[in-house]
Chain A
Amino acid sequence: MAVCVAVIAKENYPLYIRSVPTENELKFHYMVHTSLDVVDEKISAMGKALVDQRELYLGLLYPTEDYKVYGYVTNSKVKFVMVVDSSNTALRDNEIRSMFRKLHNSYTDVMCNPFYNPGDRIQSRAFDSMVTSMMIQVC
């Protein structure tokens, strides 16, 4: 159950960012922004090898007191960043991976839409609903 989900384009600007507690969004935006550095570091570390050998799932990028940040990179250098509540210890790596896979699939579906220009903000309702399903259920 994510707290914040972000899709970052290759040029490091956000295509889609959404967080569950709609107040205090800025904090999450900032976290996602800072996590981009970590993502780049991880990519470049593996980047010497061929892209094929690089795994898409980057794992835990960095933990903070309250949150953990996970990252995922596609072959077209589009990054998915997910912020997860630290108190939610039940979340295992596999679940995070599956969430990223779902994100990636939905992202691919968005790409398939010929009216979507790569680089635009993602406004697909199907994508939104998928992300909502992944978010924490805030009463």
Chain B
Amino acid sequence: MEAAAGAGCGSGPPLLLSEGEQQCYSELFARCTGAASGGPGSGPPEASRAAPSAATAAAGPVADLFRASQLPAETLHQITELCGAKRVGYFGPTQFYIALKLIAAAQSGLPVRIESIKCELPLPRFMMSKTDSDIRFGNSAELHGTKTQIPYLISEKNTFKRMDDEDKQQETQSPTMSPLASPPSSPPHYQRVPLSHGYSKLRSSTEQMHPAPYEARQPEGPSSGNQGTKPPRHQASLIRSFSVEREPQDNSNYPDEPWRITEEQREYYVNQFRSLQPDPSSFISGSVAKNFFTKSKLSIPELSYIWELSDADCDGALTLPEFCAAFHLIVARKNGYPLPEGLPPTLQPEYLQAAFPKPKWECALFDSYSESMPANQQPHDLNRMEKLSIKDVADFPVSTEDMTGDDKQALKSTMDEALPKDTSEDPATPKDSNSLKARPRSRSYSSTSIEEAMKRGEDPPTPPPRPQKTHSRASSLDLNKVFQPSVPATKSGLLPPPPALPPRPCPSQSEQASEAELHPQLNRASSQAAESSPTKKDTPYSQPPSKPIRRKLRSENQATENQEPSTTVGGPASVATVKPHPIVQKQSSKQKKAIQTAIRKNKEANAVLARLNSELQQQLKEVHQERIALENQLEQLRPVTVL
């Protein structure tokens, strides 16, 4: 370990360089000085210990080098100031080394300050025309030999599955390069040609996407600093990925690595397809697919373009390979890659069909499908297959759930949050256009939810489920439970509390189902509903869910006690009865609330219809009267004419 005293810069603290850093810096310094004056740079490492020798790096090559680090200009100014070159007037070895260290710090996302250089930092990255050796050198030192990245397109799952810096950076960067660079060019060109273009595009489009992986990366990043500004991190990742990307580039026949679908991605897409369309060999219709893809929160023109790319036969429907291609493009776009001009060869339907033959879609996939839906415990396949809505909302975050242990909680919680919001909208407005409003809120899984989860310390509390939303689904389950022998908590038997958790609510199903299923319940609970619903409205939902349920149960059980428990808000008496059956209550609470919600809605609908009915009756009466009047007139006139 070398310690170069900051003799040149008075304010600089002693600079600790590791051996790798020392070597790299001295090489770079040598190049800068060599390029300028031809004088010997700081050859042997020991020489750097000496006071600033005559060897100084000329400003020209140094400026080029700094610019090649891809940091913004103001950062470079800061660095030059801090390292003392401005003060001293030249770039001596110490200033140069300090500057390089600051560049490394900036690229790692640390603020540009002297303190930053005290910690262990990766080597700075420079993108220059003849820097293959440099970067490769820096590569090996920094990456610790982990070069096992497979240049696949990043998907949400991949992001979190491999939490390594290198993977992420490479993946984030490579797709921008591949569609932009011409098919296989030499690696240095490959990295340089699309650098500016891809970089700028990435910067603009992915800053909101990348905080998530960056935040997630923090615990494992080699740099210890954690409070990086995003652009430097971004640049660091880009540049690292650039340097990393070149090695594995020749692994495949196609230059467009990010457009290749991995096995797990393929499975996920197939599962999604099955959720929309049980028969893997048939189509998904346009409207169904539109609903599904709209949930990805991409803009409509982009989705339209993705459709154009993926629907090869332009028939308005997606077969499985077309669907996979479209999904893949959406995932790519969400991760910030610009959409290609044409469908990449790895996404062509023929290629996809050849690469992933159909026989795979047997029970194996179905098993994995059911596994990959951790939240859907109930095997209500029929219900699931019918509609997309919430389940697909769940599926998108579920994909990331599969991959991240840490984020499972977060995603689940955000999903739970998202779901109630979603279900609240959908029952009210089952139309596609309206559901678009609801879905964007629940689609915030990838970027913001993970970020928040990480910030919360990877263990966010599960928010309490909003009762009125989830029940719309749960209510439809009650019919199933009715026929099963369950906990005989009620005398009625029409509303037995279900023993297991209900599956993920599906609001559009519930809307259809609720009317049919609640009808028998309504018949019985009509009187109670009248009481329970207004009181339920009074009840704030912050109360433990057992209380309203208890109230309802009691109201069903004992008709005489209807008045009392239903009118007491949060009746304390009910609490006592709750305690013996807490678990049962929790399980039945959702159903009860669902029933109450559905009852309320039906009542509103009834009221509306009743009003309409009365109005129409009124009109009918008036029309009748008019008719009578007209007939009278006719009769009066008729005798005249006859005569």
Interface residues of A (CB under 8 A from B): 108-109, 112-116, 123-126
Instruction: Tell me whether A124 and B304 are in contact in the complex, defined as CB-CB below 8 angstroms, given that A114-B287, A114-B290 are known contacts.
Output: yes
- B 371-401 to A, binary, CB cutoff 8 A, 1 in contact else 0: 0000000000000000000000000000000
Which residues of the other chain, B, contact A114 by a CB distance below 8 angstroms? 286-287, 289-290, 307, 316
Residue of A nearest to B291 (CB): A114
C-alpha spacing A91/B535, complex, angstroms: 79
- In this complex, the member of B287, B300, B303, B308 whose beta carbon has the largest number of chain A beta carbons within 10 angstroms is B308
A130 to chain B, nearest CB (A): 12
- In this complex, the member of A108, A109, A115, A123 whose beta carbon has the largest number of chain B beta carbons within 10 angstroms is A115
C-alpha spacing A129/B293, complex, angstroms: 25
The 8 Å CB contact of B307, one of A108, A115, A123, is A115
Which residues of the other chain, A, contact B314 by a CB distance below 8 angstroms? 108-109, 112
Determine if A115 and B311 form an interchain contact, defined as CB atoms under 8 angstroms apart: no
B305: CB under 8 A from chain A?
A: yes
Nearest 10 Cβ contacts at the A-B interface? A114-B286, A112-B316, A115-B304, A114-B290, A109-B314, A115-B303, A113-B307, A112-B314, A115-B300, A113-B304
Determine if A112 and B301 form an interchain contact, defined as CB atoms under 8 angstroms apart: no
B392 to chain A, nearest CB (A): 16
Which residues of the other chain, B, contact A109 by a CB distance below 8 angstroms? 314
Which residues of the other chain, B, contact A123 by a CB distance below 8 angstroms? 301, 304
Which residues of the other chain, B, contact A112 by a CB distance below 8 angstroms? 286, 311, 314-316
- B 272-306 to A, binary, CB cutoff 8 A, 1 in contact else 0: 00000000000000110110010000001101110
Determine if B315 and A115 form an interchain contact, defined as CB atoms under 8 angstroms apart: no
By size class, the interface of chain B is 10 to 19
A-B contacts, 28 of them at CB < 8 A, read A108-B314, A109-B314, A112-B286, A112-B316, A113-B286, A113-B304, A113-B307, A113-B308, A113-B311, A114-B286, A114-B287, A114-B289, A114-B290, A114-B316, A115-B290, A115-B293, A115-B300, A115-B303, A115-B307, A116-B304, A123-B304, A124-B304, A124-B305, A124-B308, A125-B305, A125-B308, A125-B341, A126-B308
C-alpha spacing A116/B314, complex, angstroms: 13
C-alpha spacing A125/B343, complex, angstroms: 12
Residue of A nearest to B288 (CB): A114
C-alpha spacing A114/B307, complex, angstroms: 8
CB within 8 Å of A: which of B519-536? none
B306 to chain A, nearest CB (A): 9
Interface residues of B (CB under 8 A from A): 286-287, 289-290, 293, 300-301, 303-305, 307-308, 311, 314-316, 341
A104 to chain B, nearest CB (A): 13
C-alpha spacing A116/B304, complex, angstroms: 7
C-alpha spacing A125/B315, complex, angstroms: 17
Which residues of the other chain, B, contact A113 by a CB distance below 8 angstroms? 286, 304, 307-308, 311, 316
B179 to chain A, nearest CB (A): 14
Which residues of the other chain, A, contact B286 by a CB distance below 8 angstroms? 112-114
Residue of A nearest to B339 (CB): A125
C-alpha spacing A115/B294, complex, angstroms: 9
Which residues of the other chain, B, contact A116 by a CB distance below 8 angstroms? 304
C-alpha spacing A112/B308, complex, angstroms: 9
Which residues of the other chain, B, contact A115 by a CB distance below 8 angstroms? 290, 293, 300, 303-304, 307
Which residues of the other chain, B, contact A108 by a CB distance below 8 angstroms? 314
C-alpha spacing A123/B305, complex, angstroms: 9
Q: A112-B316, A114-B286, A125-B308 are in contact. List 8 more A-B contacts (CB 8 A).
A: A112-B286, A112-B315, A113-B286, A113-B304, A113-B307, A115-B290, A123-B304, A126-B308
C-alpha spacing A16/B316, complex, angstroms: 21
B329 to chain A, nearest CB (A): 13
A74 to chain B, nearest CB (A): 17
A109 to chain B, nearest CB (A): 4
C-alpha spacing A113/B341, complex, angstroms: 17
B440 to chain A, nearest CB (A): 15
Residue of A nearest to B285 (CB): A114
C-alpha spacing A125/B303, complex, angstroms: 13
Which residues of the other chain, B, contact A126 by a CB distance below 8 angstroms? 308
Residue of B nearest to A126 (CB): B308
Which residues of the other chain, A, contact B301 by a CB distance below 8 angstroms? 123
Residue of B nearest to A109 (CB): B314
B396 to chain A, nearest CB (A): 18
Which residues of the other chain, A, contact B304 by a CB distance below 8 angstroms? 113, 115-116, 123-124
Which residues of the other chain, A, contact B341 by a CB distance below 8 angstroms? 125
Residue of B nearest to A116 (CB): B304
C-alpha spacing A124/B311, complex, angstroms: 13
Which residues of the other chain, A, contact B303 by a CB distance below 8 angstroms? 115
Which residues of the other chain, A, contact B300 by a CB distance below 8 angstroms? 115
C-alpha spacing A123/B302, complex, angstroms: 10
B39 to chain A, nearest CB (A): 55
Which residues of the other chain, B, contact A125 by a CB distance below 8 angstroms? 305, 308, 341
A120 to chain B, nearest CB (A): 9
C-alpha spacing A123/B290, complex, angstroms: 17
A124 to chain B, nearest CB (A): 6
C-alpha spacing A36/B305, complex, angstroms: 30
C-alpha spacing A109/B286, complex, angstroms: 13
Which residues of the other chain, A, contact B307 by a CB distance below 8 angstroms? 113-115
C-alpha spacing A125/B293, complex, angstroms: 19
- In this complex, the member of B290, B293, B304 whose beta carbon has the largest number of chain A beta carbons within 10 angstroms is B304
C-alpha spacing A93/B300, complex, angstroms: 38
Residue of A nearest to B290 (CB): A114
C-alpha spacing A113/B309, complex, angstroms: 10
C-alpha spacing A112/B314, complex, angstroms: 6
C-alpha spacing A24/B479, complex, angstroms: 69
Residue of B nearest to A124 (CB): B308
